[in-house]
Amino acid sequence: MLYPPPAASVRLRYAVTAGGEVRGTQIMVRKVLCKSALVKSGIADHALNPYTGCAHGCVYCYASFMGRFAPHGRPWGRWVDVKVNVADTLRRDLQHLRRRAKGSPPEVFISSVTDAYQPLERTFRVTRACLEVIATAVNEPAQQALPLLTRPDASLLEPDASRPNSWLRVSILTKSDLVLRDLDVLQDIPGVEVGMTITTADDAVSKRYEPGAPPATRRLAALRRLADAGISTWAFISPVLPYHADSRPAVRSILTAVRDAGVVRVMVDRFNPYPASVSRFLKVASAEAAETLREYIASPREYLDRLRATVAEAAAGLGLAAKLFSETASS
């Protein structure tokens, strides 16, 4: 296991709300202790996941493998472990990181295998606690060797106002407008970036494939509010949903929606046809979407080449800086 549950771990049942609606299912919630908050990551230098598991329950989620580390015997989306000590652990991890940091600032990516703003965050507030720890850590002056003084010299303790950037880069990825609750803390973290996953501009589509997450229109509205508040934003168009988001009109509609929400940078990734993702997708997909996915799996190179060209053309036409899935992704 990555972390042991505390001896007094608590099992709770919650009715999860998404978009103000109570879901028809309940999820199992367990409070656990983590040994470290930051883990090495292939996405950034370090990943921070305040939860294990995710009640957004997206049918295509590649993180469902995390079930191996927190065996609940329930399907993905129906269980969550809350790392109740994650903020305290993060404080210690950041002290170590700062002492070791050399060269360019290390990056912490929040939500690589969960969503830090899933519905339980309204109750447990562990993500907010982590952001408060980060805000304190990036705004306090570096410890320096103080000269021997008979009295403390307060000027030595003042933050370096000329420092243009923080010693730490922080990036958050979410599907939830709950991130707006923490605008005040985000504004205390220099250079913080918030990415919003947008897979469609159609709420009916997001509800079908991302049943526990806020609908697409609320995510787009959140992007607008973040941008208006001076927070750097980007949109993660991932995965490109077969049939719903891969045609020229659909791609253009999604990219137009994010541009109109104040986004200038997008990252686009394909649907990764892992067996578990395909199986869950096909259970809820419309007949057209199921057919398109089967065509993609049958001829991935043809499908992905066409998609790549479609996205590149639409992004360029809308003046968006786009990072597309790898040229080798289809091989």
- List alpha helices for 6-155, DSSP H: 86-100, 121-124, 126-139
Give min distance, CB of 170 to ligand SF4, in A.
18
Residue number, 115 or 182, with CB nearest to ligand SF4:
115
Residue number, 106 or 239, with CB nearest to ligand SF4:
239
Give min distance, CB of 13 to ligand SF4, in A.
19
Q: Does 244 bind ligand SF4 (CB under 6 A)?
A: no
Q: For residues 175-214, which are near ligand SF4 according to CB under 6 A?
A: 175, 210, 213
Local structure of 107: helix, strand or coil: strand
Applying CB under 6 A, the span of 13-21, 49-57, 87-95, 136-144 interacting with ligand SF4 comes to 49-57
Position among 47, 58, 185, 254 found at the interface with ligand SF4 (CB under 6 A): 58
Q: For residues 104-143, which are near ligand SF4 according to CB under 6 A?
A: 114-115
Give min distance, CB of 54 to ligand SF4, in A.
3
Give min distance, CB of 61 to ligand SF4, in A.
3
Q: Does 266 bind ligand SF4 (CB under 6 A)?
A: no
Give min distance, CB of 29 to ligand SF4, in A.
15
254 contacts 237 by C-beta, under 8 angstroms: yes
As given in the structure block, the two tokens for residue 31 are 């409070």
Residue number, 189 or 213, with CB nearest to ligand SF4:
213
27 contacts 212 by C-beta, under 8 angstroms: no
170 contacts 191 by C-beta, under 8 angstroms: yes
Dihedral (CA of 32, 35, 36, 42) sign: negative
Distances (CA, A) of 18 to 118, 151, 176, 242: 9, 56, 9, 24
- DSSP letter at 178? G
Interaction mask 161-180, ligand SF4, x per CB under 6 A: --------------x-----
- In sequence order, the β-bridge partners of residue 109 are 47, 171
Position among 37, 47, 48, 61 found at the interface with ligand SF4 (CB under 6 A): 61
Residue 149: how many other CB atoms lie within 10 Å? 8
Residue 100: how many other CB atoms lie within 10 Å? 8
| CA 193 from centre of chain | 11
Residues in the interface with ligand SF4 (CB under 6 A) total 11
Give min distance, CB of 114 to ligand SF4, in A.
5
Residue number, 37 or 97, with CB nearest to ligand SF4:
37
Contacts of 153 (CB under 8 A, 6+ apart): 146
The site for ligand SF4 (CB under 6 A) is made up of 54, 56-58, 61, 63, 114-115, 175, 210, 213
